[in-house]
Structure 1
Amino acid sequence: MQINFEEFEALENYPTKGILQFYVLVDDSGEYGINFEDITKQEKFRVVYFETIEKDESKLQEAPTIECDEENELINKPCLLIPEHGEMGISPSCYQFNQIVEKYAMKYEIDEAEKSDLNNYLYDFLNVKEDIHIGGYSAFTQDDPRETSDQDLTETLLQIGTIPGGPNDLEYIMWGDSGTANFLISLEDLKACNFTRVGYIWDC
């Protein structure tokens, strides 16, 4: 997948020009390039940024086609995404969710029983879509890896959910059993357009 930052409304702290490309390894393992030991190790996935875009098509090369076992195929058919600007709430699966609840519980002197009720209410109310978006908050099918490490990766560089509506009733994009993938980055690296340390995680 690639993002052309010149084609949509600027987001605070994100690049305003250039192309950002995301690659993951698709092989017979069905792991899609994930490294559970170190989500920032770009060995079987890559995030590459090109600050300038070559617009002379005569200088461009066609990308090679790589055959893939249909059982492990991640994207069933290429698709063009039309960007739309929007707002979103925090997902209850995001590691920052409990911190925010705790902050407001202290501010309004909410006791433990009421805090539990508040947590349950917000979990049901904040139904964040596991779609494709840049910025905002990340949603996770299982656990947010930042609960235990890499908590400086606060920014959602890109979230890619399972996208229905593809050909022959197949999903356009399918992560395992209807999962979600996230690419995460620190605010400092994002501002500097430094994409050498990006966290990549998907789960289902």
Structure 2
Amino acid sequence: MNTSSCDATTPLHAENIQKINEYNIPDNKIPADILQKIVGELMMKYKKDGVLLDLEVDDGLTPINSCVGGVPYFPNGMEYPMADGQPLILLCQINYSEMPKLENFPTEGLLQFFIGTDELYGTKHSKLIYHKTVSLDLNQSVPQSVIDTLKNVQEEDLPFKGAFRLMGKIGETFALPEDRDKLFEKLALKYSVNTWDIENDVFKATESLTAVKTHYGGCPNFIDETVYKDDRNTKEVLLLQLASEEYKRDEPRYYKNEWSKVDYCQYGSGFFFINGEKLKKLEFDDVTYTYDCD
């Protein structure tokens, strides 16, 4: 499966039709009724639901909550994840009992994403750990030696800039295939319009769905589609996209003088991909972690 495109059989939602109608402006080259048909056809084939994730500063965050950064869940009997003798750091953890249900994803348990602390946003070493049972009663303190080591990590080497609760909701994602030029040519012939006009008008009509955002499931939104090619046919499911994000003007901040919550080269994202069958079996030992940037 090509990770830059997604199959979907659900109908075009009314809100998307409304968005298309709103683009009936002089800048559009294609009439609104034709554009609506074109985008509707693309949506039917390439739209897919995912879980959209909001990052919020929350003083009440606990080790069993879904979060980016923060203190990891560390139950009795767990060995803290290491690589080359150095502790990994918690990038994110998702408690699926806090999230809306999404096909083929867990409905319970907690998945942790640990990464290295190297200058490539931890992509040299990463480890995912799934806990089927989650309870604060089982939690223990992270070893002090780990805490002391991670205190010395350079913050600029980490993509997250604080600790944030993750709030999830079902939402639509959309991405066109890499060979979209051929697709636009076919649509141009079918609807008797210009190929370049299709590309420009479709981009405007679907911009809200293709915007880079933090989510899992659904379609990945790449800035640079070349970053993930080798494994895309065998690891086709988006386990997580953690997107660069700045604070809104009046939003509470984790650090007073910090402008970003997440920063992968300012506008990029971190991606985790897994094989669909392994996901169903809750086997997270073979996951690809990469990132892109502008």
Alignment of 1:10-29 (within 5 A): 10-27=101-118
Matched positions, count: 188
| Contact 1:185–1:198 (Cα < 8 Å) also in 2 | yes
| Contact 1:133–1:160 (Cα < 8 Å) also in 2 | yes
Cα–Cα, structure 1 residues 203 and 116, in superposed 2: closer, same or farther, change >3 Å?
same
1:48 matched to which residue of 2? 129
Q: 2:236 aligns with which of 154, 174, 190?
A: 154
Offset at 1:104? 7.8
Q: 2:218 aligns with which of 136, 139, 142?
A: 136
2:50 matched to which residue of 1? none
Cα–Cα, structure 1 residues 73 and 104, in superposed 2: closer, same or farther, change >3 Å?
closer
| Contact 1:130–1:160 (Cα < 8 Å) also in 2 | no
2:287 matched to which residue of 1? 198
Root-mean-square deviation (CA, aligned residues, Å) is 2.8
Cα–Cα, structure 1 residues 8 and 70, in superposed 2: closer, same or farther, change >3 Å?
closer
Please identify the structure whose Cα radius of gyration is greater: 2
Q: Write the distance in 2 (CA, Å) between the matches of 1:109 and 1:115.
A: 8
Structure 1: give runs of 5+ residues left out of the alignment. Answer: 36-43
Offset at 1:196? 1.5
Q: Write the distance in 1 (CA, Å) between the matches of 2:185 and 2:280.
A: 32
Structure 2: give runs of 5+ residues left out of the alignment. Answer: 1-91, 248-252
| Contact 1:189–1:195 (Cα < 8 Å) also in 2 | yes
Alignment of 1:105-184 (within 5 A): 106=186, 109-110=189-190, 114-127=194-207, 128-147=210-229, 149-165=231-247, 166=253, 167=255, 168-184=257-273
Letter aligned with residue 138 of structure 1:
P
Letter aligned with residue 133 of structure 1:
H
Letter aligned with residue 62 of structure 1:
V
Cα–Cα, structure 1 residues 190 and 164, in superposed 2: closer, same or farther, change >3 Å?
same
- Give percent identity, aligned residues only: 24
Cα–Cα, structure 1 residues 107 and 117, in superposed 2: closer, same or farther, change >3 Å?
closer
Offset at 1:160? 0.3
Q: What TM-score, normalized to structure 1?
A: 0.77
Cα–Cα, structure 1 residues 6 and 180, in superposed 2: closer, same or farther, change >3 Å?
same
Q: What TM-score, normalized to structure 2?
A: 0.56
Structure with more strand by fraction:
2
Cα–Cα, structure 1 residues 186 and 117, in superposed 2: closer, same or farther, change >3 Å?
farther
Q: Write the distance in 1 (CA, Å) between the matches of 2:213 and 2:174.
A: 13
2:43 matched to which residue of 1? none
| Contact 1:179–1:202 (Cα < 8 Å) also in 2 | yes
Secondary structure, in 3 states, of the residue corresponding to 1:122? helix
Secondary structure, in 3 states, of the residue corresponding to 1:56? helix
Q: Write the distance in 1 (CA, Å) between the matches of 2:288 and 2:216.
A: 14
